[in-house]
Amino acid sequence: MRPLSLVAVAALALWTTAVHAGRSCEQRKPTVQTIERGMQLAERTARALDASGAQVVVLGRAGQDLSKYGLRYSHLGWAYKTPEGPWRVAHKLNECGTAVAWVYRQGLGEFFLDDLWRYEAVWSVPAPEVQQRLLHLLQDRARTTVLHQRPYSMVSYAWATKYQQSNQWALETLAAAMEPGGVHTREQAQAWLRFKGYEPTALKIGPLTRLGGRVTAANVAFDDHPNDKRFADRIETVTVDSALAWLQRAQLAGAPQVLRLD
C-alpha cells in the first residue's frame, strides 16, 4: 500500500461518522482510496468554482443511490468563497441514529469526504443579485441558522414545519436571503417558495416501506404529510434534483454543472 499523502492524513484526522446527510448511516471506516478520491473531487471542484467567477453556488453530492426514485443527487448546501480564498459550505447534517440535525460550515474536502455513492459534484451559479444576498446571509452565522429547526426527518413534508430536512433548510434559507424584511419564519419562507413556483418531488413510497422506515430509523417520519397524500403513497419532499430544476426555471440560477471523477 502506498503511503498516505499529507492531504489524506489531514482528511483522516478530520473524519467523523457522527453526522451525515444524503447518505446512509452505515458505520464503515474510510479507506485510503475513499479519502483520496473524495479529496480529489474536492480539489477539482474548487478549481472549477474558482474558474466560474462565482462567490456563491448551490452545491450537491451523490451520497446515496436514489435511482429507484428517479433522483441523481441526495444532498445540497450553499458553498461560498471566503475572503481568505478557500470555499466553505453551509449545510445541514443529521446526527446519525437520531431525529435531530445541526447546521455546519465545512470545507470542500469535508463535504466530499463522506462515503459517497458516486464521485460526482453538481452545482449551479445563482444570478448576481441572488449571490450577493446569499453571501451577506452566509457570512452572518446568526442569520444562517434563523430558520434552522432541529427536529429532522429525511422525508419531511415540503410544506410543513414539524420537521426539517437538509435540502429544505437550504431552500428556506434562500427565501430568507431574498426577502430579509418579509421572511422571518419557516411558514413565510415556504409561502415565498410557493409564490416562486417551487415544486417538491413526489416520491412513491408504499405503506410497508413507510412502516419499516419509521420503525427502524429515528430520522425518518411520515406523520407530517397530509393524510390524503400519505395514504395515496405520495410523499412530497425537497430534493436536490427538484431544487436545481426550479432554480433554473425561476431564473434564480443557471443550468447545473457536473463534475465527475473517471
Read off the pLDDT of residues 74-98 as tens digits, 9 standing for 90 and up: 999 999 999 999 999 999 999 877 9
| The predicted structure's pLDDT at residue 59 | 98
**How many other CB atoms are there within 10 angstroms of residue 233's CB atom?**
14
Domain presence at residue 174: yes
What CA–CA distance (Å, rounded) separates 206 from 189?
A: 29
The stretches of 53-185 forming alpha helices (DSSP H) are 108-111, 128-138, 141-144, 166-178
1 assigned to some structural domain: no
Q: Confidence band (pLDDT; 50, 70, 90) for 172?
A: very high
Amino acid identity for residue 71 in this structure: L
| Domain of 194, in residue numbers | 6-260
CA angle 73/18/8 to nearest 5° reads: 75
Count structural domains, the chain: 1
Q: Are strands 87-95 and 75-81 parallel, antiparallel or unpaired?
A: antiparallel
Q: Are 78 and 98 in contact (CB under 8 A)?
A: no
Asked whether the whole model's pTM tops 0.85, one would answer: yes
